Amino acid sequence: MSGRKIVHVDCDCFYAAIEMRDDPRLARQPLAVGGSPDRRGVIATCNYEARAYGVRSAMSSRHALKLCPDLLIVKPRFDAYRAASREIHRIFRDYTERIEPLSLDEAYLDVSASPHFSGSATRIAADIRRRIWQELHITVSAGVAPNKFLAKIASDWRKPNGLFVITPGEVDAFVADLPVSKLHGVGKVTADKLGRLGIRNCAELREWDRLALVREFGSFGERLWQLARGIDERPVQVDSRRQSLSVEHTYDVDLPDLSACLERLPLLLEELDGRLERLDRSYRPDKPFVKVKFHDFTQTTLEQAGAGRDLDSYRLLLGAAFARGAKPVRLLGVGVRLIDLQDRHEQLELFAR
């Protein structure tokens, strides 16, 4: 296991959760986000009230309405979902830079070297869940394990709004009881073939040697042999595309008040401007933001859609951010969110207009 500590975070019915958060009238009734049933639309996601009727993502909207005649289907608001995703990743980055996004609402985090909570991945995951609820008012589920395969399984173990941990010492027994249908890469066809061979769980899969599995399943047989033993050496692949650009400075002596903070602002912005000039043209600067870490290590980040990137705009942001704590400051940061011009794929093909 090489001492790795992997956290898999998965938002609970993300799109629907954002819709219910922004319009509380939608809560506690069957809700789906997707395309119109009159135009061959597809369900992107739905809340748990809708799932009780059998509604699922990727299902046609028309079929979903047959299963649940009271289902309310709302159009997706990708701008709102991306904004929430950026905030979630901002929280992630407070714990580690080793983040592998899988989608807007799901990511792996390698916290093996994180100094937070004395290196406890369980406490890091719990704190991430707490902050996302407090700051974004949506719930997430998290799994903690020595590798990506098990962390992803763990995050689904106590959904919704759950946390499940698989320690290195628990891996062998946990995986032995695991149905083969839960293994990464095992779809319906492979699961059916395994069933015909009398293999229903990993304990039974372990009875097959490596060469026999390769004969039956080709190169995937090697992967099956490893997964049956809880082995997954895949690293967390850090996203190389930027979501923001910022500069920050930690001061040897705490800044006592807002006036002292404002005095430092021009130098920070000068450095930020220099970095923006060197930025790849595949990005476009968007919302400005400031970060303030107080002397007691509490911190806040504040951004403003539609605001300029001039000194006066950052002064207003810094004043509002400082007011959240009104304590001596040990770190100041200024930055700007970035629009990735290479990312044109909106996945809109899921939703017929």
Q: Which residues form the catalytic set?
A: 106
Q: Which residues contact 286 (CB under 8 A, 6 or more apart)?
A: 336, 337, 338, 339
Which helix or strand (DSSP H or E) is residue 123 part of? helix 121-136
Say if residue 10 carries a ligand binding annotation. Answer: yes
Say if residue 22 carries a ligand binding annotation. Answer: no
Residue with tokens 């939703």: 351
Cα-Cα-Cα-Cα dihedral sign, residues 191, 195, 196, 202: positive
Q: 3-state secondary structure string, 160-187?
A: CCCEEECCHHHHHHHHHCCEHHHCCCCC
Bridge pairing between strands 140-145 and 163-165: parallel
Query: What span, in angstroms and rounded, lies between the C-alpha atoms of 161 and 91?
Result: 17
Query: Closest Cα to residue 48, out of 61, 31, 25?
Result: 31
Residue ranges at the known binding site for Mg(2+): 10, 105
Residue ranges at the known binding site: 10, 105
